[in-house]
Chains A and B, each alone.
Chain A
Amino acid sequence: MTDKTRPVLDIRNLRVEYPLANGNTLVAVKDIDLTIRPGEIHALVGESGAGKTTVGNALMGLLQAPGKIAAGSIVIAGKEIDLRTGRTEGIVPGRDVGAIFQDPMTSLNPLFTVGSQLCEGMLTHLKLSSREAKARALELMKAVGIPEPERRLGSYPHQLSGGQRQRVVIATALACNPQLIVADEPTTALDVSVQAQILKLIRDLADERDVGVLLVTHNMGVVAEIADRVTIMQNGVVVESGLTREVLTAPKAPYARTLIAAVPPIDARLDRLPVPSEETQVTLDARAAVRRKSARSEIGSRDDVVLSVRDLAVEYGGRSLLPGRKTSVFKAVKGVSFDVRRGEIFGLVGESGCGKTTVANTIAGLVTQSAGSIDFQGTALGARREKSIRQSLQMVFQDPYSALNPRLRINAAIAEPILFYKLASNADEARQDASTLLEAVGLPADAGTRFAHAFSGGQRQRIAIARALGPRPSLLICDEPTSALDVSVQAQLLNLLKDLRDLAGLSMLFISHDLAVIRQMCDRVAVMKAGEIVELAETQTLFTAPKHEYTRELLRLAPSVERIFGRELASA
């Protein structure tokens, strides 16, 4: 049907610019070339700000004003985008380019049925009658693997699960037989198991229908899993491009090498992730000072149990203002037991909604358990807690952008708990401690005089760690501390957390959905599913000889560069 050799997408010297408020121009995409053949999946990867999403938006005609295509040519299936208008006049989005967005929860209109949203494109572009459109919609629903397709056509988006919605989005993208599909982080919002299904679906559709796919992603595992070719971008420029295997196993450009090396491997434990060390004399001195202050953690041996959780259960809901009515109770955690030993990093891993964060919040005292006990250094923890208990138990959160009070200077934010627990005799001393802590986490001491907005996500997370260390805790709870960060920043932070553990004799409860990160960080791991622990083992054992079926499934489905290409890539 289609000419197998003619590219479905041919980008030459594409340049996208955004005029800035100060009169300058931001070049979001600088002179990039990219070619996709029928049936080929081409991954566009890079960290935030690399310009990969901008390329996708340019193809879909979704560049936000005042952004515009400044130069270059885009040819889709033989038709060229009209650059004079900067718009896709010759190419109709939807008919020539299909789109898949990141979040299936928001890409469908909540007020219209799945069927009507699926059909409207066909009615517009293919001029089908509504009967024909409906028949084709049904066919598409079957093709993307939605159970009971006939009934689902009449459903509203909220009645479908996230995975099903993303399947509907894919069906919508395919509706008018486009030769090119732009998928912008299509599985980032999904769990591992759903992600695996969606990736397989995209691969199959590309193969069966000879559709070219531009896959915009930040996840190297996903790239390895389904992409034929990959292009790595940095600051709007292509740094390397080629066959996936070649680029991922033997990257040539320095940036590509660091980027790929920073991805934590799932099949081996590295002592440190191979990113440039940031230890200077200043950080070492500061860390020494921190170690002196946290003297009390030296007591006790490694086998002591710091935290002991027994049969922990947590329920949400159930309280209602109306007398005599009880809203449905959601059991988030059902009888979880584990111990955290002194100096250990204990991991909790599982998919979203498995209850791992609830466990963390309960131990931290943000949520009260409905049953079971938490024993922390010999004290039973409930809703009311002694100051000294709170002091030894601190937490680092997921979202660096909400972790710091935007109206508080960094110094004040770090000094607040220090003063509150009377660990410094006056405000000056507390500020001094804050500066030392900032240096210990690798930031300049004068960072403290600024506000949170002056810092990047990774820097904010360092500040949040410094704040948590201020009270000299013995247990640090880390709830997905790096999942909002770029991979190279993640690698630095993971190294930092390991250093600090050794330094202050900290125990850590480390929560993540990312098995590779867990493998790098933890001594022992518990796998959670639907509020229960299904397997608990030494990290090494869990990854090499998983016992539970669910653990095996997670390990099998996690996208991973090593699993596809083996460990032939050396740490660059």
Chain B
Amino acid sequence: MIRLFSVRLLQAILVMVAVTAIAFVMFRFVGDPVASMVREGATQAEKDAVRVTLGLDKPVAMQFVSFVGQVLTGDLGTSYRYQQPVTTLLLSRLPATLELVIVATVLALAVGIPLGVLCALKPHAFFSRLTQSATLVGISMPTFVTGLLLILVFAVNLRWLPSSGRGDLVDIGPWQTGFLSLSGLKSLILPSITLALFQLTLIMRLVRSEMIDVLSSDYIRFAFARGLSRTYIYGRLALRNALMPVVTVTGLQIGQLIAFAIVTETVFQWPGMGLLFTNAVGYPDVPVLAAYLLFVGFLFVMINMIVDILYTFIDPRLRTR
């Protein structure tokens, strides 16, 4: 268990070092940081002054050290485009993304797990075959196309739901939530379904294949030989075994989730961090790009640490050694 943790910790540190290095290189060498800080037509002297304030006259290694220091204190530079501190910018967009991701994930788990179990238990039933085929269509359908179709049907043609934005927001301290207003909830429907569909197919297929594996194992055969009821065997014994890998995979899928959140936010003009990022790519707003990269790396590492800890708690083979 300690060994597992140290391997994971090493991996986490490696990821963070790699990410910080890339972010540093982007800040320092991509585009011209000085040009973005001074007024147009500035003299060489003015530029040099800015260069010194930014610390660009020091050796690269020194700059990296001070960059790491800045990152650790939460200073991620200033956006070229918005002329605001990037940290403030990211934080103001965080609630939108989190609300979307959480609703979508809950939706995907709530539908995906039962469907996966059902398809594993009755692999030849009509319903299972239908679901299986539907998931194939699901993984063949890019997220943005799903989004576009939903907009076309429910926003353009039926005019039931809004196609973009978050609707009316309610401030709870620094957190702006869309959960507390009707238009906010209505705005959430299409984007969260779009994002959930992508996860749902993955979860469903994973649960199904794990469940099929578990059902053919000796200990499930032994459970049948003891005459335990089907509901008990499937619902309590097999499902727990089958859900173990789902936990790990969910952790590893975080990156994918972030990526598809970017796509979803762009399609629905959802004012979250992903939209900020796509806009930054087009501008190009390098500090925002670098900061987003750092943020994603950090999130990925943190969530996988949590998943690992969780895993050792639910798997007795790791817990009691």
**Complex contact flag A–B (Cβ < 8 Å):** yes
Taking CB atoms and an 8 Å cut-off, the chain A residues in 306-338 that contact chain B are: 321-322, 325, 327
B-chain residues with CB within 8 Å of residue A61 when the two chains form the complex: 224-225, 227
Inter-chain contact B225/A62, CB cutoff 8 Å: yes
Asked whether A112 is an interface residue with its Cβ less than 8 Å from the other chain, the reply is yes
Inter-chain contact B224/A108, CB cutoff 8 Å: no
Nearest Cβ distance between residue B258 and chain A, in whole angstroms? 28
A-chain residues with CB within 8 Å of residue B217 when the two chains form the complex: 106
Interface residues on A, range: 35 or more
Nearest B residue to A155, CB-CB: B320
Asked whether B228 is an interface residue with its Cβ less than 8 Å from the other chain, the reply is yes
Inter-chain contact B228/A124, CB cutoff 8 Å: yes
Inter-chain contact B222/A169, CB cutoff 8 Å: yes
Inter-chain contact A94/B226, CB cutoff 8 Å: yes
Docked pose: A109 CA to B6 CA in angstroms: 28
B-chain residues with CB within 8 Å of residue A321 when the two chains form the complex: 7, 10
Q: Mark each residue of chain B from 208 to 249: 1 if its CB lies under 8 Å from any CB of chain A, else 0.
A: 000000000111111111111100100001001100100000
**Residue from A108, A113, A175, A325 within 8 A of B222 (CB atoms):** A108
Nearest Cβ distance between residue B140 and chain A, in whole angstroms? 31
Taking CB atoms and an 8 Å cut-off, the chain A residues in 213-227 that contact chain B are: none
Docked pose: A159 CA to B227 CA in angstroms: 26
Q: Mark each residue of chain A from 196 to 238: 1 if its CB lies under 8 Å from any CB of chain B, else 0.
A: 0000000000000000000000000000000000000000000
Inter-chain contact B218/A110, CB cutoff 8 Å: no
Q: Mark each residue of chain A from 99 to 112: 1 if its CB lies under 8 Å from any CB of chain B, else 0.
A: 10101001111111
Inter-chain contact B226/A99, CB cutoff 8 Å: yes
Asked whether B315 is an interface residue with its Cβ less than 8 Å from the other chain, the reply is yes
**Residue from A108, A125, A322 within 8 A of B6 (CB atoms):** A322
Asked whether A60 is an interface residue with its Cβ less than 8 Å from the other chain, the reply is yes
Docked pose: A511 CA to B316 CA in angstroms: 37
Known: A95-B227, A120-B226, A322-B7. A107 touches B320 (CB 8 A): no
Inter-chain contact B219/A121, CB cutoff 8 Å: no
**Residue from A62, A103, A113, A156 within 8 A of B224 (CB atoms):** A62
A-chain residues with CB within 8 Å of residue B219 when the two chains form the complex: 106-110
Docked pose: A322 CA to B10 CA in angstroms: 8
Nearest B residue to A327, CB-CB: B3
Q: Mark each residue of chain B from 170 to 194: 1 if its CB lies under 8 Å from any CB of chain A, else 0.
A: 0000000000000000000000000
Docked pose: A294 CA to B93 CA in angstroms: 80
**Residue from A107, A124, A325 within 8 A of B227 (CB atoms):** A124
**Residue from B225, B237, B316 within 8 A of A99 (CB atoms):** B225
Docked pose: A324 CA to B228 CA in angstroms: 50
Known: A109-B219, A156-B317. A121 touches B228 (CB 8 A): yes
Nearest Cβ distance between residue B32 and chain A, in whole angstroms? 40
Taking CB atoms and an 8 Å cut-off, the chain B residues in 114-165 that contact chain A are: none
Nearest Cβ distance between residue A145 and chain B, in whole angstroms? 20
A-chain residues with CB within 8 Å of residue B225 when the two chains form the complex: 60-62, 93-94, 97, 99, 101
Asked whether A158 is an interface residue with its Cβ less than 8 Å from the other chain, the reply is yes
Nearest A residue to B214, CB-CB: A109
B-chain residues with CB within 8 Å of residue A97 when the two chains form the complex: 225
Q: Mark each residue of chain A from 69 to 96: 1 if its CB lies under 8 Å from any CB of chain B, else 0.
A: 0000000000000000000000011110
Asked whether A172 is an interface residue with its Cβ less than 8 Å from the other chain, the reply is yes
B-chain residues with CB within 8 Å of residue A106 when the two chains form the complex: 217-219
Inter-chain contact B228/A120, CB cutoff 8 Å: yes
Docked pose: A111 CA to B314 CA in angstroms: 8
Docked pose: A106 CA to B221 CA in angstroms: 10
Taking CB atoms and an 8 Å cut-off, the chain A residues in 106-147 that contact chain B are: 106-113, 120-121, 124-125
Nearest A residue to B10, CB-CB: A322
Inter-chain contact B229/A124, CB cutoff 8 Å: yes
**Residue from B7, B221, B226, B320 within 8 A of A172 (CB atoms):** B226
Taking CB atoms and an 8 Å cut-off, the chain B residues in 65-110 that contact chain A are: none
Nearest Cβ distance between residue B164 and chain A, in whole angstroms? 46
Known: A109-B241, A112-B237. A101 touches B226 (CB 8 A): no
Nearest Cβ distance between residue A151 and chain B, in whole angstroms? 12
Docked pose: A422 CA to B244 CA in angstroms: 53
Known: A158-B317, A322-B7. A99 touches B240 (CB 8 A): no
Inter-chain contact A111/B227, CB cutoff 8 Å: no
Nearest B residue to A120, CB-CB: B228
Docked pose: A97 CA to B320 CA in angstroms: 33
B-chain residues with CB within 8 Å of residue A110 when the two chains form the complex: 219, 241, 316-317
B-chain residues with CB within 8 Å of residue A108 when the two chains form the complex: 219, 222
B-chain residues with CB within 8 Å of residue A60 when the two chains form the complex: 224-225
Q: List 8 A-B contacts (CB under 8 A).
A: A93-B224, A95-B227, A97-B225, A108-B219, A109-B223, A120-B232, A121-B226, A158-B316
Top 7 nearest A-B pairs (CB, nearest first) are A94-B227, A99-B225, A94-B226, A106-B218, A93-B227, A156-B316, A109-B219
Apart from the given pairs A93-B225, A107-B222, A327-B3, 16 other A-B contacts in the complex at a CB distance below 8 Å: A60-B224, A60-B225, A103-B218, A106-B218, A108-B222, A109-B219, A109-B223, A111-B241, A111-B244, A112-B240, A120-B226, A120-B232, A156-B320, A159-B320, A173-B226, A175-B226
